[in-house]
Amino acid sequence: MKKTLFLLSILTLLCGCKQEKKFCIEGNISGADSLMLYLEHLSLGEGTIAIDSIRLTEDGAFHFEKPGVASPEFYRLRIGGQGINLAIDSTETVRIKADMKDLSFGYAVEGSNACDTIRLLCLKLASLEREARRISADRNFTIEERDSMIQGLVDKYKAEVKKDFLHGNYGTAYSYYACFQTLGTSLIFDPVHDKSDLTWMQAVANAWNEKYPSSPRTENLCNIVLECRKKQAKPRQIVLDIDGEKVKELGIIDMTFPDINGQERTLSSLRGNVILLDFTAFSLDGSTERTLLLRELYNKYHDQGFEIYQVGLDASEHLWKQRSEALPWVSVYCEEGLESDMLTLYNVQGLPSYFLIDRNCDLQARGEDIPDLGEAIEALL
């Protein structure tokens, strides 16, 4: 009996140890006394989520432990507007040494080749961003010349990343990370329009599918590749209907785009309601918080005749589908993204941007002219 109890105790301890597997992120950040350090999960479907925090003391030491992951996941250490991007695989321990003066780029990593390689990718991207800003600010060149020069920098960047980082390392966390780097709001790798980028992204997807077949990120990447292959094989043709008489009658320029189920949804079909026409992209910083704000407005005023017609302009249709799937309002996707003529026709200068339309389908105001959106909606209801 004692022998049996002893064996059961050992099994219980072993099971407990198995359940307690964790990954660890620890280290020191000098010059950050009394500042809050956040550990954030860069989640696939819900954006950036703070999962832990600590107020640093004079020595800047920190230690985070979280349950181990079955496949690579991405996290960020953040103080204010500065952050360190990390990839965690299984139950490893990652050690960070940094200084608050240059937190995002001047840090050192021990214990993770993936995290150190992501550091190099971030440094490389920061160099590209600096050069792109310099060219954008140089008025000795025309807009076309500046765009051409910046595109040349991007092409050079992609060629070097493919050669020095992706080639032969397709199944790594940092190769996945590289596929989703952005310059401004645009993906650097453009699998929708660039066949070469699609080929490289497909190589990463195939390698992840072999190593991590059950990972949601594998499914995400494979779906993106499949969508882009379809688009390159048969591009969607869109014809804008901006008949002058219709514009005069409605007071708006009408538009039709597909929702998440592929059903074509027309803006003017909501006539009779107060409509918030919203141009946005879920890849933007602060998107989650903005969606929560829109939910509050929608829940408060919908029964009184308030509707939202939200146009998603994300480069990744898969990302748009993930973020818009549970939204209660009309959410449609514009695959032309920032190249859409609708942005020009509505004189959209930046994202997100919204317009308020009354029950007669007359355009009443645009976002920057509305001091309080709730009050503006109430005034039209």
Q: How many CB atoms lie within 10 A of CB 304?
A: 11
91 and 185 part of one domain: no
Q: What is the mean pLDDT of each run of 10 residues along the chain (381 residues)?
A: 48 50 93 95 87 94 93 94 91 91 92 94 94 91 89 93 91 94 86 86 90 92 86 56 47 83 90 95 89 94 96 89 91 88 83 93 88 93 92
Task: Kindly report whether the global pTM for this prediction surpasses the value 0.85.
Answer: no
Given the structure tokens 């500065």, which residue do they identify?
A: 82
Provide the terminal-to-terminal Cα distance of the chain, rounded to the nearest Å: 77
C-alpha span between 65 and 275 (Å, rounded): 46
Question: For position 251, what pLDDT does the model report?
Answer: 58
251 and 221 part of one domain: no
Q: What is the CATH number of the domain that holds 44?
A: 2.60.40.10
325 and 266 part of one domain: yes
In a domain, residue 366? The reply is yes
351 and 311 part of one domain: yes
369 and 281 part of one domain: yes
**Cβ-contact 121, 174 below 8 angstroms:** yes
C-alpha span between 84 and 42 (Å, rounded): 12
83 and 177 part of one domain: no
In a domain, residue 364? The reply is yes
25 and 94 part of one domain: yes
49 and 139 part of one domain: no
219 and 292 part of one domain: no
89 and 41 part of one domain: yes
Question: For position 338, what pLDDT does the model report?
Answer: 85
Instruction: Give the ranges where 234-265 is alpha helix by DSSP (H).
Output: 244-250
Supply the range of the domain harboring residue 89: 19-103
In a domain, residue 358? The reply is yes
248 and 346 part of one domain: yes
In a domain, residue 31? The reply is yes
